[in-house]
Structure 1
Amino acid sequence: MAETLPTLLPAPSSILSEKYPSKAHARKVANLLPTTNGTIYLESAPLLLLPDSDSEAPFRQRRPFFYLSGCPLPDSFLTYHIPTNTLTLFIPPVDPESVPWSGLPMSVEEAQAQFDVDEVRHTNDPKPLGAEGGLVYVYTGDGQVSRSLGVSPENINRSQLKPAIDEARVVKDRYEIALLERANEISSYAHNYVLKCAHSMKNEREAQALFEAICLANGATGQAYNGIYAGGRSAATLHYVKNDASLLSVNAPDGGKEKPQLLLVDAGCELRCYASDITRVIPLTPDSKFTQEARQIYDLVLQMQKECMAMVKPHANWEEIHRHAHRVLIQGFLSLGIFKDGSVEEIMDARTSCAFLPHGLGHWLGMDTHDTGGHANYADTDPMFKYLRVRRPLVEGAVVTVEPGVYFCRYIVDGYLAEEKHRKFVDEGVLARYWVVGGVRIEDDVVIEKEGGRSLSLGAVKEREEVEMLAGQRGTPGWCNYL
């Protein structure tokens, strides 16, 4: 008989049995607006059909709307009257034509019991906004206002609601942290299971199928993003999306064949609109051990991550932590002989390490994988900081990913080697031994607490000896042997 799909034993936090704190979020946002005499208006995402089809497109709730409502329904809207602290949710009424196909929608009474709002009404019975006076704050970031508000244009503020919500979302409350913790528990469990079964997989898609199935079986509402399941040299592509290559034999640059040494898995589930984002690397050798070069790079990346995580605390300078990751990388490459003829600071100043770590150290995490409020500056001409998604001091209550990596991407590295200021620091003969490694990234989600950073993804093993030990258990997901 095939194995049953494994499920988690621990129950979710009891906090999650409470209502999502919509009104507290609404007040928090209102406090960041310039006036207390007004109304916030937000629409949910609409239900859309796929082009040239009568099938529904996958639905993803608008995060600002969920933040102030906790409501997952499409085609809804809300108002929050700031002076009276009144939050009203408007949900779709019964459509007799759709009931045979989709069943009855959520009723007003069910919504009132489920959501932290003062009143629930149907969308065809709206409360006129103009009657309440003051400004109406609308969100124009990811969708236009689709209905008439009955308010004169001069009383509509289209510029200040989005930055207020973006900033409010940075610091999480206890409920949000509980959601993020549970999403991380589920994803960590899935990562460990994929690690244990990787030896039996013939293709990257099998890793994706197993990870996603375990997440869904354990209560996840989906994936937080399109996962990365990259074997061998494909892991040098930062956002690899194909997830369909062989894990047994692939084309080598010399025209022959090679077996990927590693499988990089960057994947995380979503739980009620809250994300997890974890990356682990799995050895694919017959003995489940890292090869010498892969081990050296894995140990270096793990050192980078540990040292950077130890620096996470309130008010810490994230840019300096990012710089520290590069310093550790440079020192490691000097020890391995990949870098030569320069000091750490000389190579740092030349930005040569950016050829091997081209992305930022991490980003805020919350309802979006790359969450709001990081103040990134993609126009920065400095390659060390161009893609750093957090350009502000760390704050207590925020959640940040810590994800250093080392990548051997021909396209990027060759571009650097074309310039003498970089080439003089690189021993290309030594470097040649590492192309086959592809890339190594280790990523955890860290909540910033008063005493420092606390990892939410400790359940996903990452110590090299533990990774090799779990990989050596060689589990087999019998329920999917048809793969």
Structure 2
Amino acid sequence: MEAVDAILAGQYPAKEHAKRVVEYIKKTHPDASGVLYLEGQKTCMIEDNDEAAPFRQRRYFYYLTGCDLPDAYFTYDIASGKSTLFIPPIDAESVIWSGLPVSPSEALELYDVDHVQTADTVASYLAKPSQGTVYAINNQVSDHITFLQFASTDLMLLKEAIEECRVIKDAYEIGLIKKANLISTIAHTAVLKAVKHAKNERELEGVFIEKCIANEAREQAYHSIVASGTAAATLHYQKNYQNLEGKLNLLLDAGGEYKMYASDITRTFPISGRFSTESRLLYDIVMKMQVDTIAMLKAGVVWDDVHLTAHKIAIDCLLALGILSGDKNEILKARTSVAFFPHGLGHYLGMDTHDTGGHPDYEDKDTMFRYLRVRGKLPAGSIITVEPGIYFCRFIIEPYLKDPAHSKFINVDVLDKYWEVGGVRIEDNVLITDDGHENLTTAVKDVDEMLALINST
């Protein structure tokens, strides 16, 4: 934690991000000139209410500013390389309720920008004649803003440039994600220690969130999945209020967010402190899928191939259990394993849980790759989740049992022993390096260590 904190003692590298974005733009527009223009998220009132909705900064804006203030604006002059942040001026009525806002001088110290002005000057700033192009994001430009003084307007390229640049993280961003993982590990550990005595899923969600908030991660990267028993077969389970009595396992997919950057961690473990025979067999399969696919990771590896390897391992192991039968190559060709492992092996991670730049193809006719959120080669500096899983969801599997092309490979008598397992998923966050990888997730997943924590109280 100390090494991470030392990195994060510096400033969010917004200027460097802006330079990278301009470099990307100049790959297709070598003579690009003018201004990058972005708006932060606006304060939004809850409908039929006098309270503001919870604020979530636009990630495109944050990437170039490091600024988490609402109602802010940003410009970056391509020729000079100078950035200007526009923040809300003092509103006396607001000060009564919320206190003094950040001042321009304070903002200049806080954020990696060259100039700070108040937001009421942004329109006049943009009114200066320019022979260049203003690069902005479509549908993220306020009505009172005009670009009439610019020679041209591009509302497409800036978003693409930021999305692609976000894929490769710098040391500061990696530090933020490491910190989010360290905090989430504390929370995952607390749930392990609490699960044996909890009565309801919501108690465990409460334990996780409390530990995150207490350790500097006030926001969650996403709504936690706290799925007990057969609910673990629902990939994005949302209820989190079912009783735990009589259930075999708990699947906890939860991650805290630290200063806009996400963690995304899944662990599956027995509620009683002891795996059933079937649950342990499935856990070992998923662990092998994860260990073997993580071992493949380095810069330049094709993620589609890593995902395919996970399916091949799943097929081999399900054949060994007797759930599948027949020729493994025919099973792979038929895509029967998709019935048990229907989602992609992972996704990029950054400011968003499902981060940008993955180029998925949700129209892919191949069911094995349709939901793969990342396609192609992984670059050094990217962070990707590795989250294999095996699930026993009746809604998904039963159509396969009715289809002769698949049913000939599935042994129903053996399958019937596994429905109560629900599902097993194990997920870590992995940094891709030039010659390998670094697993940023330290939450316990070794069976003996997990069981020791569960049975320690």
Q: TM-score, normalised by structure 1?
A: 0.91
Correspondence for 1:66:
62
1:371 and 1:300 map into 2 onto residues whose CA distance is 27
Aligned ranges for residues 257-296 of structure 1 at < 5 Å? 259-285=246-272, 288-296=273-281
Correspondence for 2:303:
318
Correspondence for 1:116:
112
Correspondence for 1:163:
160
Kept in 2, the 8 Å contact 1:362–1:402? The answer is yes
Once the 2 structures are TM-superposed, how far is the Cα of residue 418 of structure 1 from its aligned partner?
A: 1.3
1:300-341 Cα offsets, whole Å, 9 max, x none, are 00000000000011000110110000011111110000001x
Once the 2 structures are TM-superposed, how far is the Cα of residue 23 of structure 1 from its aligned partner?
A: 0.4
1:440-459 Cα offsets, whole Å, 9 max, x none, are 000000000122111100x2
Once the 2 structures are TM-superposed, how far is the Cα of residue 145 of structure 1 from its aligned partner?
A: 3.9
Once the 2 structures are TM-superposed, how far is the Cα of residue 229 of structure 1 from its aligned partner?
A: 0.3
Kept in 1, the 8 Å contact 2:134–2:147? The answer is no
2:214 and 2:90 map into 1 onto residues whose CA distance is 31
Residue 80 (1) aligns with residue 92 (2): no
Aligned ranges for residues 143-292 of structure 1 at < 5 Å? 143-151=140-148, 155-248=152-245, 259-285=246-272, 288-292=273-277
Correspondence for 2:352:
368
Once the 2 structures are TM-superposed, how far is the Cα of residue 102 of structure 1 from its aligned partner?
A: 1.1
1:153 and 1:404 map into 2 onto residues whose CA distance is 50
1:395 partner SS: coil
Once the 2 structures are TM-superposed, how far is the Cα of residue 152 of structure 1 from its aligned partner?
A: 5.3
Give the partner amino acid of 1:76. A
In structure 1, the gaps of 5 or more residues are: 1-8, 249-258, 475-483
Residue 92 (1) aligns with residue 92 (2): no
Correspondence for 1:472:
455
1:186-232 Cα offsets, whole Å, 9 max, x none, are 00111111111111111101111110110110011310011100000
Once the 2 structures are TM-superposed, how far is the Cα of residue 11 of structure 1 from its aligned partner?
A: 7.5
Give the partner amino acid of 1:439. G
Kept in 1, the 8 Å contact 2:344–2:369? The answer is yes
Once the 2 structures are TM-superposed, how far is the Cα of residue 417 of structure 1 from its aligned partner?
A: 1.1
1:345-386 Cα offsets, whole Å, 9 max, x none, are 110100000000000000000000000000000111111000
Give the partner amino acid of 1:133. Q
1:418 and 1:470 map into 2 onto residues whose CA distance is 42
1:201 partner SS: coil
In structure 2, the gaps of 5 or more residues are: none
Kept in 1, the 8 Å contact 2:129–2:149? The answer is no
Correspondence for 2:134:
136
Count of residues in Structure 1 that have an aligned counterpart in Structure 2: 451
* Gap change, CA 1:51 and 1:367, over 3 Å in 2: same
Once the 2 structures are TM-superposed, how far is the Cα of residue 128 of structure 1 from its aligned partner?
A: 2.2
Correspondence for 2:329:
345
Correspondence for 1:477:
none
Once the 2 structures are TM-superposed, how far is the Cα of residue 146 of structure 1 from its aligned partner?
A: 4.0
Kept in 1, the 8 Å contact 2:347–2:385? The answer is yes
Find 1:380's aligned residue among 353, 357, 364: 364
2:348 and 2:331 map into 1 onto residues whose CA distance is 29
1:413 and 1:236 map into 2 onto residues whose CA distance is 11
Correspondence for 2:288:
303
1:312 and 1:437 map into 2 onto residues whose CA distance is 30
1:70 and 1:280 map into 2 onto residues whose CA distance is 32
Once the 2 structures are TM-superposed, how far is the Cα of residue 131 of structure 1 from its aligned partner?
A: 2.7
Instruction: Give the share of equivalent positions with the same residue, in percent.
Output: 47
1:276 and 1:315 map into 2 onto residues whose CA distance is 23
1:456 and 1:430 map into 2 onto residues whose CA distance is 37
2:92 partner SS: coil
* Gap change, CA 1:372 and 1:146, over 3 Å in 2: farther
1:446-477 Cα offsets, whole Å, 9 max, x none, are 000122111100x2010111111111112xxx
